Chain A
Amino acid sequence: MTVKLLSQEHAKALIMAYGSEPDRWPSEWRESLIVALAGDPALRECAAAEAKLDQMMASESADPSISVASILAFTAQSVARREHELTEAPVGVLERFIEWLCFSGFHSTWRSVAVASMALALGVGLGLGVAAPPEDEWVASEAYVFALVEGG
């Protein structure tokens, strides 16, 4: 196996980035770093300083104590809520609208007026929306026909 050549500067940069432990070095440079370190006291000094930091970092642990059960419960609740929102919400709105239209009882008589007004408003709106040809076009076409008759 051939060992890739590594300058002292590059070797130092790698040790300063990844620390002093060979297991943590990038695999493509591990052999080269081991060789470089063995023959270079300046690199060993650099690695010693990094080893102190590695030691301190290894003594720290992060344990937020989150249980698997709480994660599973959260997922189940979130999925159920999403499914409910996806399936129930549109039907609910439609159902509420139909229920509102299908009123009953004297106390909601005003709704009949409201529904009739809505139908009337819809009809008026549609009627206004239909584009009638502008008056100018009729006048222009009549003038053209008269011109033909008089000319002919």
Chain B
Amino acid sequence: MEQVAGGDREVYAILVAHHLGPISAYAQRMTGNAANAEDIAQEVFLRLWLKAGDFDATRARLTTWLHQMAHNLAIDQLRKRHREVSLEVIDVPESTISSDPGEKRHPVTQALQHLPERQRSALALTYYQDLSNREVADIMGLSTRAVESLLVRARNAMKIRLEIAQ
């Protein structure tokens, strides 16, 4: 990271190549939309270049730091979109707001989009991003107990939507 902070473009490109997949996948699961995921990924990696000097390896892994930026950007984007939609339409389902029109999607993807944003985030970060419960708690600014509570509710909601017997 010191090399990136010093302007080393080659090291930066290596880091982008290594982290782009997980970050863009998380952004897509959060926003349900490839274009929005790309916006978030671009902003995350721009911040990596601009703020590399701020990264403190003693406090977090690089992947956790990048996921935290992606998480904050995704939450901002979802809230902004909700504000815009609420000015036009009332009672629009989450899946209608965030999906790409006409796209046939995996049942799990659809079920994820119906979760409240904090449950979706907890489940995506824990299950798909291979982060520890403490890292997820740090990213979301919650205790591990609070994250576990969100996970139980998220998984129960997923089982109901996917019609898995409990």
Binding site for B on A (CB under 8 A): 13-14, 16-19, 24, 26-27, 49-50, 52-53, 56-57, 59-66, 68, 70-72, 74-75, 78-79
Contacts and interface: CB of A to CB of B under 8 A. Distances in A.
Nearest to B33: A64
The secondary-structure label for the interface of chain B is helix
Contacts of A49: 159, 164-166
A60 B152 contact: no
B11 interface: no
A56 B162 contact: yes
Interface stretch (B56-64, B68-76, B77-85, B127-135): B127-135
B45 A71 contact: yes
A13 B144 CA distance: 13
A71 B20 contact: yes
A53 B162 contact: yes
B5 interface: no
Given A71-B41, A71-B42, A50 B49 contact: no
B46 interface: yes
Please indicate which of the listed interface residues B9, B109, B127, B159 has the most CB atoms of chain A within 10 Å of its own CB: B127
B154 to A, nearest CB: 9
